[in-house]
Structures are given as C-alpha cells and as structure tokens.
Structure 1
Amino acid sequence: MTPPIRIVFLDRDTLADSVTLKAIPFEHELFVFARTSPEQVAERIAAADIVITNKVALRREHLAQAPHLRLIAIAATGSDNIDLAAAREQGITVSNIRDYAVRSVPEHVFALIFALRRNITAYRQSVRDGRWQQSGQFCYFDYPIRDLAGSTLGLIGSGSLGQAVAALGRALGMKVVFAQRRGQAQAAGEPDRLPFEQVLAQADILSLHCPLTPDTQHLLGLEEFRLMAPRRPLLINTARGGLIDNQALEQALRQGWLGGAGLDVCVPEPPPADHILMRLLELPNYILTPHIAWASEQSMQALADQLIDNIAAFHDGVPRNVL
C-alpha cells in the first residue's frame, strides 16, 4: 500500500487566520507549523514529499537532507529564499504564486505616494501636537502639498505589478516611464522605456517592482541618489529591501536628495529596534510599513487558492508556475 503524500507547511502564520486553505484533492498527510526557525528546517522537511514555505529559507544543506522531497510550493511570488540551483540538481520542482496581488500592491504603492505627496502623516502629527490651535486660523501650511497630475512616475520593473502601478498613474494624469536594465540603451519605438539613469534623473516619484538578484542588490546607492537629487523625488519600495543601500538612503533623506521615502520591505524582517530604517521613523517624510502591501484579504485568499491549485497540478503531472 502506497503511503499518503506527506505535505509540510513551514510557516502558516505568514497568512492571516481568516485565510482558508482549500481541500487538497488527493490522499495526503498535512503537517502545519505556525513558524519554523532555521535550526528546525532540516528536521521538519526530512520526510516530506511536498514543502510549503512563504519566507522560510530552504538552502542546499536543507535539501540534501530531504531525499523524498519533490515539490517546494512557495506561498509567495519571490523565490530568493530558495536555493533554486540545488533544487534543480536534486530534481525538485519549485512553484510560486503569480499575479495574485495586482490590486493590493499597487493600491498600497499609491497609499504611500498620497501620504507622502500630501504630507498626511506630518500634518496628523502636527495636529496631535497642538499646531492647529497655535495657528490661530482655519488651516496652516507647514508642509508642502503637491498634486500628482502632471508629475513623472518612474518604474523599475515592468511585470504585472509595475504595469498595474503604471495604469493607476496614468489614470491620475501622471507621465509614466519604465527604466531599462542598467547599461541597456533605449529601445527604438518604446518612448516610455528609458535608460536607467535617465529615469532616475527625470522621475518625480520612483517605485521599485523588480526582483532581488545579484544584479539588483543595492540597485540604489549614493551614486543613484545623487542623480535623483535635483528633482527631490519620492522613493517607494514594495519589492525587496535589498534593492536599496540603507546607509545611502539615510544620507539621501537627511541631505534632502529625496523628497521622501515609503518602504514596505527591509532586511531583515522584522528589523531590530536599532535598525537604520527604524531610526529614520523620526523623519516626517518617511514611512515604513511591515511588508503588508500584498496583504489585502482578497489577495491573501487568492494566494492560498492558487497555492493549493499549484500542488494539485503537480500531483496530476502538469506542474504550473514552475521556476
């Protein structure tokens, strides 16, 4: 008798309790862990046929101790926590979730943009501090407020999320430009795709939507922020924390090279209390949210549904969303 397929979910707490998992349509044993520390990974996946992980890292040394493992089902889009080369060498299929947050992430991007462009958090704090009463009139103008219409939205990354952000920007009357990969010239017939450095120099708002790879690690550093300084743009990052050199970001904010920054990601997550991105919270033109751009109720449920569909498709011999 063939034993049931053993499925291990390493970090169920990365999805809200309100999210339900559809029934898995084949005989299986499901072992669900709220969280898994690096020291617990090898033991928990040792006998697994299928592993579900959102952010728990699966490295070469872990995979080498999981001889039965055939599928890693990532409960997210990003795959930088998986050793893909080691998985391929061991014949392990890796699947991810795609296009599930094409509303949630762009809406969060613009929530950050609106908050910074209109200085919502700064005005809220000043009201709490009694500034309205001190002003002696019906309003006051301590922080600049700027419309989005007519401004230039620069996007690094032109996948489904970048395209969805672009659509919202155009609807608001913004000029949208996409950055080519660094070092790549502008393609003929693509006026909205400009060289990387040109987008940095022209953008009033720059939003990141590219994956974290060795080529994009610290994509934005001191040199890039200096290129951006004349326009003092807003910087929005809902992609991966490693795309930005945080020391350079601090200097750019404190020197006024940026008009503000709204981040939803950092390294590590969560950051320690003395992390540079935590210290920057003293600035009125800086917002840090806890990696929740993707996490609308609708998007989380869509992710969970697609996760089970990926597992079922693999079992049926027609794997999908394979990396």
Structure 2
Amino acid sequence: MESKSTHTELSLKIVVTDGHTVNPGDLSWDQISTFGSLSIYERTSPEIVIERCVGASVILTNKTPIDSRAIETITTLKMIGVTATGYNIVDTQAAQRRGVVVCNVPAYGAHSVAQHAFALLLETTNHIGIYANSVRQGDWQRSIDWSYSKAPIMELQGKTLGIIGFGNIGQQMAKIGFAFGMRILYCSRTKVDSDLAHFTSMEQVFSKSDFVSLHCPLTADNREFVNRNMLGLMKPGACLINTARGQLIQEQDLADMLNQNRIRAAALDVLSSEPPSPHNPLLTAKNCIITPHIAWMSREARQRILDTTAKNIEQFLKGSPINVVN
C-alpha cells in the first residue's frame, strides 16, 4: 500500500511524506495518529509534495524536500516535523517567514551510529567480510595450513582515533575507542570536558591519527573540507571513516588518494548523493568500504524517532514546541 489514513475526532491533518525508511512496517504509527487524521505515504517525489499535503497542518518528512513553494502554497501548514536530526531538506527561512515551526529529532541514534562507525573501523582492521567469504568459497578446506592470511590484521591497542565533531555521537565513539585501548584526539567547535579524549586542532587530528572518524554536522563552511589538502595530512596507513554527511568529503580527491595508496582505506556510510550516481568515483576506489546509509537504522533508534516526533507534535499543540530548529 502506498498510503493509508487513520482518523480521529480531531480536525488536525497530518501527512507523512516518506514513512517507509523510518517505519517499513515493524513499528506502529498509533501514537501519532491520536493527534488527528494521519495520511502515510511510503515515498513522495518533490513534484507531488503539494498535491499530497494540501490541507495539512503538520507535515512529517524524513528526506522529502519541503521547499519554499510548498511552504507558501500549503496555507494550512503550521508545523513541519523532520523525522531525523539533519533538517537541510526544509527551507527553514521560508518556514520562519510564514510562522511555520520546524522541529527535528536530536540525539536519537548516538549509540547506533557510533556502533556502526566502529563496525566499519573494525572491518578495515580485521577484514571479517573477506575472511568469511574466503571460507564460504572453500579456501579453508583447501588450505595446507590450519590458518591462512588473506589480508593483514591490525591491533587497535595503542593506536590513535581522531574524531571530528564531539557531540553525542562523537563522544560515544570515543568511549568505544577508549575501551579498545586507543588514544583519542578530537576537534570540535567547542571544547568539551572529557577524561577520555584530548582536544586539538583539525590539522593535528588528521596528521596524528591512525583513524579519522567524521561526526560533525554539514554546514556552509565545511562542505567538502575533507579534500586533497586535508587528506594529504593523513598517515599513509591511516583510515577515514564517515557516518556523518557525504558532502563533507571531496569524493574525487578521496578516490584519488585511495587509488594512489596515499591513505590505507576509507569506510563510508554516506555519500554526497544518495542513491549514488553510477559514476561516483568512490564506488570503484581501492580499499573503500561503503554501506547504504544504515548507521541510523536500528529498530531501537527508529522507535526513538517516532517517540520524539509524537512528543514534538504534542508539545506544539500545547503551545510549547520543543526541538525547534528555525
């Protein structure tokens, strides 16, 4: 079913433009449907946003863009709820001009995203996928030795983990790294008191770390800041990890550095365009692991998204909106 509707006695009309990723069917929309008439679409292309959302007081979107035209045309609109932390898909200035409140869901996935970032890191050091596939193909059965090597394994004890952005996810990443016996460096807009990590400059993080993990938001100032110059500071044996935003990286520069063996590996959960173009240079770059933007996707994290979204609507209706980003 592309969409479904539930109705209560309330007159509030709520439209979910792209509910499939947050809730593909294993969770319930019931707590949100209590606020009014709820229409849920699995996906909505930009050109039919207005058509589907006409008459809506609340629009809930995950990745469907809500632009100035939609905000100005849907005159009934009072609130936009982004079912994610990043809200760059909404024209927040247009919303502010019209008095439309925009809310997001902060801090829902710190544990899940850090867990995935570290899983990517471990794949670059232990190569579980390579070895599991080798066994599945019969290499161990044919081996003349009781153990064999397909790729070098690295111990993390004593290595340096550099973290760019030290919010909830960055701090959780530091805790995991510290548990592995790693030295932790971090760079952030503001210094955070931490017994686990040492605050330093961006350049020091890139030049001193064996692993650099990105956990900062995308802003106008840091788009593609991980470029040839910044990557050139990294050790030849270092690895870049990105579970933040793909636009933080100049992708051709990273592909070139990988293909030229200037850095050891990259492990990415995000790309500049998603789904990626078949011509994205990272898809064929050497020693580049890519997962399809799934770090946030644990069931527990998605349930927190729905819980917080319901709370955002409730507080908005009470006249005390929370998690407002405009």
TM-score (norm 2): 0.90
Q: Verify the 8 A CA contact 2:59 2:81 in the aligned structure 1.
A: yes
Q: CA-to-partner distance for each residue in 1:222-276, whole Å, 9 max, x for gaps?
A: 1111111x34211111111101111011111111122211111113211233432
1:145-224 alignment to 2 at 5 Å? 145-181=153-189, 192-224=198-230
Partner of 2:300: 298
Q: Which runs of 5+ in 1 are unaligned?
A: none
Q: Verify the 8 A CA contact 1:21 1:305 in the aligned structure 2.
A: no
Give the C-alpha shift of residue 141 in structure 1.
2.6
Q: Verify the 8 A CA contact 2:236 2:261 in the aligned structure 1.
A: no
Partner of 1:68: 76
**Partners in 2 of 1:314 and 1:26 — Cα distance?**
14
Cα RMSD between the aligned structures? 2.3
Partner of 1:13: 20
Given the superposition, is the C-alpha separation of residues 189 and 250 from structure 1 closer, same or farther in structure 2, using an over 3 Å criterion? closer
Q: Which runs of 5+ in 2 are unaligned?
A: 1-8
Q: Which stretch has the larger CA shift, 230-239 or 133-142? A: 133-142
Partner of 1:243: 248
**Partners in 1 of 2:25 and 2:13 — Cα distance?**
23
**Partners in 2 of 1:187 and 1:158 — Cα distance?**
7
Q: Verify the 8 A CA contact 1:126 1:132 in the aligned structure 2.
A: yes
**Partners in 1 of 2:153 and 2:113 — Cα distance?**
24
| AA of the residue aligned to 2:70 | H
| AA of the residue aligned to 1:91 | G
**Partners in 2 of 1:258 and 1:162 — Cα distance?**
22
1:42-61 alignment to 2 at 5 Å? 42-61=50-69
Residue of 248, 252, 267 corresponding to 1:262: 267
Partner of 2:42: 34
Partner of 2:105: 97
Q: Which stretch has the larger CA shift, 31-40 or 255-264? A: 255-264
Partner of 2:5: none
Q: Which stretch has the larger CA shift, 91-100 or 141-150? A: 141-150
| AA of the residue aligned to 2:217 | P
Given the superposition, is the C-alpha separation of residues 171 and 61 from structure 1 closer, same or farther in structure 2, using an over 3 Å criterion? same
**Partners in 2 of 1:304 and 1:4 — Cα distance?**
21
Aligned residues: percent identity? 37
2:222 partner SS = coil
Q: CA-to-partner distance for each residue in 1:186-227, whole Å, 9 max, x for gaps?
A: 999998111111110011111111111111110201111111
Q: Relative contact order: is structure 1 or structure 2 higher (C-alpha 8 Å, sep ≥ 6)? A: 1
Partner of 2:321: 319
**Partners in 2 of 1:144 and 1:47 — Cα distance?**
59
Q: CA-to-partner distance for each residue in 1:42-81, whole Å, 9 max, x for gaps?
A: 2222321110000011111221212121111000001111
Partner of 2:233: 227
| AA of the residue aligned to 2:237 | R
| AA of the residue aligned to 2:15 | V
**Partners in 1 of 2:153 and 2:179 — Cα distance?**
20
Q: Verify the 8 A CA contact 1:22 1:305 in the aligned structure 2.
A: no
Given the superposition, is the C-alpha separation of residues 69 and 188 from structure 1 closer, same or farther in structure 2, using an over 3 Å criterion? closer
Q: Which stretch has the larger CA shift, 267-276 or 114-123? A: 267-276
| AA of the residue aligned to 1:290 | P
Given the superposition, is the C-alpha separation of residues 12 and 27 from structure 1 closer, same or farther in structure 2, using an over 3 Å criterion? closer
Q: Verify the 8 A CA contact 2:241 2:268 in the aligned structure 1.
A: yes
Q: How many residues align?
A: 315
1:63 partner SS = helix
Q: Verify the 8 A CA contact 1:6 1:47 in the aligned structure 2.
A: yes
Q: After TM superposition, what 4+ stretches of structure 1 lie above 6 angstroms from structure 2?
A: 186-191
**Partners in 1 of 2:187 and 2:107 — Cα distance?**
21
| AA of the residue aligned to 1:213 | T
Q: Verify the 8 A CA contact 1:117 1:146 in the aligned structure 2.
A: yes
Q: Verify the 8 A CA contact 1:246 1:276 in the aligned structure 2.
A: yes
